[in-house]
Amino acid sequence: MATVFLPFALRKYADGAERVVVPASTLGELIENLEAAYPGTKRHLIQDDALKPGLAAIVGLVATRRGLLQKLDDDVEVHFITAISGGASLTDRSRH
Amino acid sequence: MVATYEPKTDYKVIGTNPIRHDGLDKVTGRAIYGGDVKAPGLIWGDVLRSPHAHARIKSIDTSAAEAMDGVFAVLTHADFPAAEEREISAGEDTVNLKRDQANVMADDKVHYKGHVVAAVAAVDRNTAQQAANAIKVKYEVLKPVSSVDAAMSKDAPIILESLVGDHLGERVPNTNVARIFRHEFGDVDAAFAASDLVIERTVTMSMIHQGYIEPHNATAIWAQDGNLTVWSSTQGSFGVRSQTAGMLGIPESRVKVNYVEIGGGFGGKTKVYFAPIAALLSKKSGGRPVKLVMDRTSVFEATGPAPGGKVRMKIGVTNGKLTAADTDLMLESGGYPGSAVGAAAICVFACYNLPSSRITGYDILVNKPKSAAYRAPGSPQASFAVETVIDEICDELGVDKIQFRLDNAAHEGTRRGDGVKFSRVGLEECLIAAKESDHWKSPLGKAPAGKARGRGIASAYWMNGGGKSTCDLMLQDDGTVMLNEGSADIGGTRTSIAMQAAEVLGIPVEDFHPSIPDTDSIGFTGVTGGSRTTYTTGLAAYNAAHKLVDELKERLADLWETEVDKIQFADGVFTANGDSIGIQELAGKLDPTGGPATATASVNLAQAGNAYGVQICDLEVDLATGKTDVIRYTAVQDVGKAVHPQYAEGQIQGGVVQGLGWALNEEYFITEDGAMANKSFLDYRMPTSLDMPMIDTIMVEVPNPLHPYGVRGVGEVPICPPLSAATQAIKQATGRSYYELPVKPGRILEAANGI
What secondary structure does DSSP assign to B501-516, as a single string? HHHHHT--GGGEEEE-
CA distance B748 to B740: 11
Q: How far apart are the first and last CA of chain A?
A: 35
CA distance B258 to B34: 10
Q: Phi and psi dihedrals of A27, rounded to 5?
A: -65, -40
Q: How far is CA B308 from CA A43, B43, B269, B366, B718, in A?
A: 32, 38, 19, 10, 19
pLDDT at position A55 = 84
B2 chain-A contacts, CB cut-off 8 A: 60, 62
- Segment among B67-71, B84-88, B101-105, B155-159 with least mean pLDDT: B84-88
- Name the residue in chain B with its Cα closest to that of A87: B338
Kindly report the CATH number that applies to the domain delimited by B23-31+465-605: 3.30.365.10
- Name the residue in chain A with its Cα closest to that of B166: A91
A70 chain-B contacts, CB cut-off 8 A: none
pLDDT at position A87 = 31
Interface of B with A in 631-690 (CB under 8 A): none
pLDDT in tens, B662-707: 999 999 999 999 999 999 999 999 999 999 999 999 999 999 988 9
Of A56, B184, A12, the C-alpha closest to A27 is A56
CA distance B378 to B348: 9
pLDDT at A96 over 60: no
Contacts of B675 (CB under 8 A, 6+ apart): B53, B113
A10 touches chain B (CB under 8 A): yes
Q: What is the phi-psi region of residue B150: left when phi exceeds 0, alpha when psi lies from -120 to 50, beta otherwise? A: alpha
CA distance B181 to B169: 8
Of B610, B182, B408, the C-alpha closest to A58 is B610
A88 touches chain B (CB under 8 A): yes
- Name the residue in chain B with its Cα closest to that of A70: B1
CA distance B193 to B50: 52
Of B283, B613, B280, the C-alpha closest to B430 is B613
A3 touches chain B (CB under 8 A): no
Do residues B467 and B530 make contact, with C-beta atoms less than 8 angstroms apart?
A: yes
Q: Do A65 and B606 touch (CB under 8 A)?
A: yes
Average pLDDT over residues B415-430: 92
State the best of B339, B360, B411, B420 to mutate against chain A, taking most chain A CBs within 10 Å.
Answer: B420
Of B381, B345, B325, the C-alpha closest to B200 is B325
Per-residue pLDDT band at B631 (split at 50, 70, 90): very high
pLDDT at position B90 = 59
A7 touches chain B (CB under 8 A): yes
A84 chain-B contacts, CB cut-off 8 A: 92-93, 340, 342-343, 373, 377-378, 530
Average pLDDT over residues B467-479: 96
List every span in chain B annotated with CATH 3.30.365.10: 23-31+465-605, 378-464+608-752
B382 chain-A contacts, CB cut-off 8 A: none
B214 touches chain A (CB under 8 A): no
Q: Phi and psi dihedrals of A51, rounded to 5?
A: -55, 145
DSSP helix/strand/coil, A94: helix
Q: Phi and psi dihedrals of A57, rounded to 5?
A: -105, 125
Q: Which domains does chain A have, with CATH numbers?
A: 2-95 (3.10.20.30)
Do residues B73 and B287 make contact, with C-beta atoms less than 8 angstroms apart?
A: no
Average pLDDT over residues B197-201: 98
Q: The dihedral of CA B346, B347, B349, B352: what is its sign?
A: positive
Of B152, B725, B69, B157, the C-alpha closest to B386 is B725
Q: How many CB atoms lie within 10 A of CB B285?
A: 22
Of B112, B44, B34, B42, the C-alpha closest to B277 is B44
β-bridge mates for residue B185, sequence order: B357
Per-residue pLDDT band at A85 (split at 50, 70, 90): very low
Q: How far is CA A10 from CA A2, A15, A90, B193, B247, in A?
A: 17, 10, 9, 27, 32
Per-residue pLDDT band at B633 (split at 50, 70, 90): very high
| Element housing A29 (H / E) | helix A27-37
Contacts of A24 (CB under 8 A, 6+ apart): A1, A2, A30, A32, A33, A72
Average pLDDT over residues B359-388: 97
B378 chain-A contacts, CB cut-off 8 A: 84, 86
- Segment among B60-74, B83-97, B258-272 with least mean pLDDT: B83-97
Q: The dihedral of CA B629, B632, B637, B642: what is its sign?
A: positive
Per-residue pLDDT band at B754 (split at 50, 70, 90): confident
Q: Phi and psi dihedrals of B93, rounded to 5?
A: -130, 175
- The one-letter code for the residue type at B440 is W
Do residues B727 and B741 make contact, with C-beta atoms less than 8 angstroms apart?
A: yes
Q: Do B94 and A64 touch (CB under 8 A)?
A: no
B341 touches chain A (CB under 8 A): yes
Do residues B305 and B210 make contact, with C-beta atoms less than 8 angstroms apart?
A: yes
Instruction: Check residue A12 and report its DSSP letter.
Output: G
A2 touches chain B (CB under 8 A): no
Contacts of B33 (CB under 8 A, 6+ apart): B214, B217, B233, B260, B261, B262, B263
CA distance B552 to A48: 43
Pairing of strands B87-90, B170-173: unpaired
DSSP helix/strand/coil, B336: coil
Distance of CA B351 to the CA centre of its chain: 20
Of B94, B166, B344, the CB nearest to A83: B94
A89 chain-B contacts, CB cut-off 8 A: 166, 179
Q: What is the phi-psi region of residue B376: left when phi exceeds 0, alpha when psi lies from -120 to 50, beta otherwise? A: left
Interface of B with A in 366-385 (CB under 8 A): 373, 377-378
The ipTM assigned to this model is 0.83
- The one-letter code for the residue type at A75 is D
Most confident of A64-78, B76-90, B226-240: B226-240
The chain-wide mean pLDDT, for chain B, equals 95
Q: The dihedral of CA B567, B571, B573, B577: what is its sign?
A: negative
CA distance A89 to B338: 9
Q: Where are the beta strands (DSSP E) in B643-715?
A: 695-700
DSSP helix/strand/coil, B124: coil
B335 touches chain A (CB under 8 A): no
Strands of B481-485's sheet, edge to edge? B512-515, B481-485, B467-475, B597-605
A67 touches chain B (CB under 8 A): no
Angstroms from B450 CA to nearest CA on chain A: 45
Largest Cα–Cα separation, chain B: 88
pLDDT at position B93 = 61
Interface of B with A in 73-112 (CB under 8 A): 85-89, 92-94, 96
Percent of chain A surpassing pLDDT 90: 58
CA distance B636 to B545: 32
Q: Do A81 and B169 touch (CB under 8 A)?
A: no
Average pLDDT over residues B624-635: 97
Q: Phi and psi dihedrals of B443, rounded to 5?
A: -65, 155
Q: How far apart are the first and last CA of chain B?
A: 59
Q: How far is CA B520 from CA B172, B183, B230, B252, B523, in A?
A: 43, 41, 12, 10, 8
Q: Which residue has the higher pLDDT, A55 or B308?
A: B308
Contacts of B325 (CB under 8 A, 6+ apart): B188, B313, B314, B315, B316, B349, B352, B354, B356, B357, B358, B386, B417
pLDDT at B68 over 90: yes
Average pLDDT over residues B101-128: 98
CA distance B628 to B638: 29
Average pLDDT over residues B389-414: 97
A61 chain-B contacts, CB cut-off 8 A: 420-423
Strands of B109-110's sheet, edge to edge? B109-110, B55-61, B136-141
Q: How many CB atoms lie within 10 A of CB B712?
A: 30
Q: How many CB atoms lie within 10 A of CB A35?
A: 18
Q: Do B169 and A87 touch (CB under 8 A)?
A: no
- Residue B51: cis peptide before it, omega within 30 degrees of 0: no
Of A8, A84, A94, the CB nearest to B181: A8
Model pTM greater than 0.90?
yes
Contacts of B294 (CB under 8 A, 6+ apart): B215, B216, B217, B273, B274, B303
Q: Phi and psi dihedrals of A63, rounded to 5?
A: -70, 125
Kindly report the CATH number that applies to the domain delimited by B378-464+608-752: 3.30.365.10
State the best of A84, A92, A95, A96 to mutate against chain B, taking most chain B CBs within 10 Å.
Answer: A84
CA distance B432 to B636: 10
B359 touches chain A (CB under 8 A): no
pLDDT in tens, B528-566: 998 999 999 999 999 999 999 999 999 999 999 999 999
Interface of B with A in 159-178 (CB under 8 A): 162-164, 166, 168-169, 171, 178
Q: The dihedral of CA B742, B743, B745, B750: what is its sign?
A: positive
Interface of B with A in 692-711 (CB under 8 A): 706
